[in-house]
Amino acid sequence: MARRTDFDPIIERNAKYITSMASGVADKVTKDMARGYMHGKRPEELMHDVLQRWPELTEWHARLIARTETSKASTALTKVRAKSAGLDWYVWRTSEDARVRTSHHHMDGVICSWSDPPSPEALIHEKSYGKYNPGEIFNCRCYPEVLLDYGDVSWPHKVYLGGRIRSMTLAAFKRLNGGKDI
Ligand SMILES: [Zn+2]
């Protein structure tokens, strides 16, 4: 289990994404959502929590916040666990349906690093929202699948590195990791 001290800074940063809310409120919402998520609450329950505390929000907005924050908290937790285990790589996974945005569809199956996440929009020459991991942006249902073993994926494989996606052989990827096991 991740220590709270590891988890909190990520949650705090996530609060900055809720730009449509007054500052201070956004902080509280994000922390509440993360806490709820840690206690196993589902997005629907979180939405009702949001509406109860901030009745001035529309149901649409509350649902958007609950979904987005659940997804961000989930990614934050995966990241903390992976990094504490020394696992720096993950595979970007989408929900693989028609609602996946083009920029994320483009990332589907690509190996990325926690230390250098992509700007999916910049990669397809759209307006960038900055660099982020799967699930860390509004309405995103993508998730990171931590790479536990070189054999988890087929080779050559797409790897995001230094601002672009390239096809890498297993040998090249191993060299990148100093020849060690992941
Ligand atoms: Zn997505």
- Cα 80 to middle of ligand 1, angstroms: 20
Lowest mean pLDDT among 5-9, 78-82, 130-134, 170-174: 5-9
Question: Helix (H, G, I), strand (E, B), or coil: what is residue 67?
Answer: helix
CA of 174 to the centre of ligand 1 (A): 28
The answer on pLDDT for 17 being more than 60 is no
- Report the separation in Å between the CA atom of 142 and the middle of ligand 1, taken as the mean of its atom positions: 4
- Looking at per-residue pLDDT, the higher value among 142 and 30 belongs to 142
129 CA → ligand 1 middle, Å = 13
Q: How buried is 52 (Cβ within 10 angstroms: 0-12 exposed, 13-18 middle, 19+ buried)?
A: exposed
Residue-level pLDDT at 77: 92
For residue 46, the CA-to-ligand 1 centroid distance in Å is: 20
Specify the pairing of strand 143-146 against strand 89-93: antiparallel
Please tell me the distance between residue 136's alpha carbon and the centre of ligand 1 in angstroms: 8
26 C-alpha to center of ligand 1: Å?
Answer: 22
Residues 42-75: tens digit of each pLDDT: 888 988 988 888 887 788 888 888 888 889 889 9
CA of 180 relative to ligand 1 center, distance in Å: 31
CA 135 to ligand 1 center in whole angstroms: 6
Provide the pLDDT for residue 89.
97
Q: 5 alpha carbon to ligand 1 midpoint, in Å?
A: 27
Ligand 1 center from residue 52 Cα (angstroms): 28
What is the per-residue pLDDT for 18? Answer: 55
* 9 pLDDT higher than 90: no
Ligand 1 centre to CA of 58 (Å) is 23
* DSSP 8-state code for residue 116: B
Q: What is the mean pLDDT of residues 28-36?
A: 82
Lowest mean pLDDT among 33-42, 75-84, 143-152: 33-42
Distances 13 to 16, 73, 129, 137, 171 between C-alpha atoms, Å = 6, 11, 15, 12, 36
Distance 68 CA to ligand 1 centre (A): 10
- Domain chopping of the chain, boundaries: 4-83, 87-176
